Structure 1
Amino acid sequence: MSIDIPFIWIAFKEIIKALPITLILTIVPLLVGFLIGMGVAFVRIYKTRFLYQTANGYVSFFRGTPIIMHIMVIYYGVPFLVDRVSSKFELNLVSSKIPIILFVLIALSLAAGAYLSEIIRSGILSVSKGQLEAAYSVGMTKFQAMVRIVLPQALAQSIPNFTNVFVGFLHTSSIAFLVSEKELTGAANIVASTNLKFLEAFIAAGIIYWGLTIIVEGISFLLEKRVTSYSRGGVS
């Protein structure tokens, strides 16, 4: 067996066309998940009545079960519910018209929310209570102290954890191929199957994933450097 080096470049050019879908499946769930995670984190920190146990259960379930299961349950479960509700209330809704990518985005967003809520919660708790007391002493409200004092520090300290989650979901997006969503891994599989050059195709896909990871880590490093310089009163 020999490796067709020139074909790696051919496969690379074909697979890279699926990059936009991979980025959508990574960035959108993380943005939505951040909003979910922020809300869940505050519910758990302040032990909001009626919501606290639900938030705990949500985090426990989505962190304690594999993401591929979330995708499959939503992929098969949501259409079932849509068809049942549509039939019962005589609505003009057909689950087959719902884009597959929407199911994947819902599943990934819910999973991202659970993971990010823990990162945000631990970041907030890491800020000393003395800073809150100092903020209150100068007349800040609890909301002002949280937004202006606590959250900036909590999020800055959590940059490495956010980076790990981003990279993790970048790689997890490959699961979408199981429900026929053509992202990078799906494109690699199609190229490999069509040309019967599996090794070369997946080497090309691996190079793309590796390159994206290096870019993300580089951006994270620059953000950490800037945040550290700012917190010390210097310049980056």
Structure 2
Amino acid sequence: MFDVEFFFRTFWLSFKALPVTLKITAVAFAGGIAIGFLIALCRIHKLKVLSQLCAFFVSFIRGTPIVLQILVVYSIIPSLLNSIFKNAGSSIDVFKINPIVYAYIVFSLNNTAILSEVFRSALLTVSKGQFEAGITCGLTSYQTYRRIIIPQALESALPNICNATVNLIKNTSLAFMMTVKDITAVARIEASYGYNYIESYLDIFVIYIIVCSIVQQIFRLAEKKVSVYRTGKRALKLEGEKC
């Protein structure tokens, strides 16, 4: 029988763990945006060796299940490092590291690979002629990207960034595998006492629906704001006036 009292009590207990989920999401999102964009640039400009390494990284991360990545980062690598430190006579104990650090690493790497492809495809939608025009007008490469290329690419990228962010939030539910007390972990722990798994999983479902809906709404507002760059006319007009 469905336990309504347990449902509401566990809902608020799980909701209190929301900051942990959001913290993991924020760190992974920030890392993915920064590093993912650099990887996209490396691959677009085909930098020697570096572009190949970036391509291998993206293929490896996107081609392996995130559960496997968690096992590697949380179990295999720490065990190897611990053996190395012990053999070297070091007193460093990698197992004392806060588990959330491993969550930061796993989800940042995963999100970086995904966003790098998002940025690469978005940047390629902007013609090379616009970059050359910016350089001809006396702008630096940085200024050309900031004022001409990125504003136009951003509109194409936002829907995919939104999808990546929503998937990231949902994937953080796997953080419980690293003993991180996020929404899923708290709900599962509460359910284990009386085997109220239906109520607990429904709590998780409702919380993630609320959070993901809010995130999607934020991105919709962002898409409307950057829609002024739809054809690149505004950016090109500004650069034309400068020339």
Q: TM-score, normalization: structure 2? A: 0.89
Distance in 2 between residues matched to 1:226 and 1:157, nearest whole Å: 13
Distance in 2 between residues matched to 1:88 and 1:148, nearest whole Å: 53
Equivalent residue for 1:71? 70
2:155, 2:229 within 8 Å by CA — same for their partners in 1?
A: no
Query: How far off its partner does 1:74 sit?
Result: 0.8
1:58, 1:114 within 8 Å by CA — same for their partners in 2?
A: yes
Superposed, 1:91-110 pairs within 5 Å as 91-110=90-109
2:187, 2:201 within 8 Å by CA — same for their partners in 1?
A: yes
Task: Give the residue type in structure 2 aligned to 1:142.
Answer: S
1:82, 1:93 within 8 Å by CA — same for their partners in 2?
A: no
Equivalent residue for 1:57? 56
Equivalent residue for 1:9? 8
Query: How far off its partner does 1:94 sit?
Result: 0.8
Q: 1:24 to 1:164 in 2, by over 3 A?
A: same
Task: Give the residue type in structure 1 aligned to 2:123.
Answer: I
Q: What residue ranges of structure 1 are gaps of 5+ in the alignment?
A: none
Distance in 2 between residues matched to 1:228 and 1:107, nearest whole Å: 33
Query: How far off its partner does 1:142 sit?
Result: 2.4
Task: Give the residue type in structure 1 aligned to 2:158.
Answer: I
Distance in 2 between residues matched to 1:156 and 1:213, nearest whole Å: 20
The count of aligned residue pairs is 232
Query: How far off its partner does 1:89 sit?
Result: 3.9
Equivalent residue for 2:193? 194
Deviations 1:141-199 (A, max 9, x none): 22321222112221232111111111101110111112221111111111111232211
Q: Secondary structure at the match of 2:71?
A: helix
Query: How far off its partner does 1:133 sit?
Result: 2.8
Q: What residue ranges of structure 2 are gaps of 5+ in the alignment?
A: 235-243
1:82, 1:94 within 8 Å by CA — same for their partners in 2?
A: no
Equivalent residue for 2:168? 169
Query: How far off its partner does 1:18 sit?
Result: 1.1
Superposed, 1:102-121 pairs within 5 Å as 102-121=101-120
Query: How far off its partner does 1:120 sit?
Result: 0.6
Equivalent residue for 1:47? 46
Query: How far off its partner does 1:34 sit?
Result: 1.7
Q: Secondary structure at the match of 1:158?
A: helix
Deviations 1:78-107 (A, max 9, x none): 312332342344333111211111112111
Structure 1 ranges of 4+ moved more than 6 A: none
Q: 1:230 to 1:146 in 2, by over 3 A?
A: closer
Equivalent residue for 2:121? 122
Equivalent residue for 1:22? 21
Query: How far off its partner does 1:61 sit?
Result: 0.4
2:82 equivalent to 1:83: yes
2:148 equivalent to 1:149: yes
> CA RMSD for the aligned pairs?
1.7
2:151, 2:229 within 8 Å by CA — same for their partners in 1?
A: no
2:154, 2:226 within 8 Å by CA — same for their partners in 1?
A: no
